Amino acid sequence: RLPTLEELHCDVGFVQGNPDLRPEEAWTWDAGIEAADPGTWRLRASYFENHLDNLILFLPRSAFLVKADNSGRATMRGVEALGEFQWRFLSIRASYTFLWSAFGASGLSLPDRPAHVVQGEVGLAFGPFRLALLPGWQSSFYLDRFESTSEEARFRLDARLEWRFQDAVRVSLEARNLTDQRDAVDSLQRPLPGFSLFTQVIVSQ
């Protein structure tokens, strides 16, 4: 994987890119199993493994600087599971991911990678409308390569209302972060956005 433009040349003061980055190299494999009754339910589970070299991460250099860096070798492995159920106007979807990740040299956890992530969706369809609630939770994770700074676990709830105006036109209104959680940050130490609304119009042929 080649470095992105942000990883190479980002410069916002306390967060900086690195024009000397080398491309990531990796090999990966996965295997899974699936069972389903079409139109009613589906279950799927898979195991994956990823071995990387020259891993690119934004990591703290000091209390005042986060910089992109090639972080040597790393391994990631885990399990993904998905379940879906459909009955008349009701649809339910839930997924779970377990991830183990570590630097090759030290064995310490990779930053910004929670070990447990749960996502869900409960949808109700009525006529041309569909209303969905999308809860999500992830466990706590480290923000640096020394396991000294961590981010707390977080729960998030989104909602989406879709209106199929015509066969080829769909309008959606999405409300994100309904609980207005603002006490967490992303991997670049930027605060998560609070409650927000998005509108989307999709036209298909």
29-35 LR contacts (CB < 8 Å, sep 24+) = 32/80
Distance CA 4, CA 79 (A): 28
Alpha-carbon gap, residue 24 to 54, rounded angstroms: 5
pLDDT per residue rounded down to tens, the chain (205 residues): 999 999 999 988 888 999 999 999 999 999 999 999 988 999 999 999 999 999 998 887 877 888 999 988 999 999 999 999 999 999 999 999 999 999 998 999 998 899 999 999 999 999 999 999 999 999 998 888 888 888 888 899 999 999 998 888 999 999 999 988 776 666 555 667 789 999 999 998 7
Residue 186: per-residue pLDDT: 60
Which residues, listed in sequence order, are joined to residue 131 by a DSSP beta bridge?
124, 161
SS3 12: coil
DSSP 5: H
Q: Give pLDDT, residue 15.
A: 87
Q: What are phi and psi of 183, to 5 degrees?
A: -95, 25
Give residue 189's pLDDT.
Answer: 59
pTM of the model as a whole: 0.83
Closest by Cα among 89, 91, 109 to 100: 109
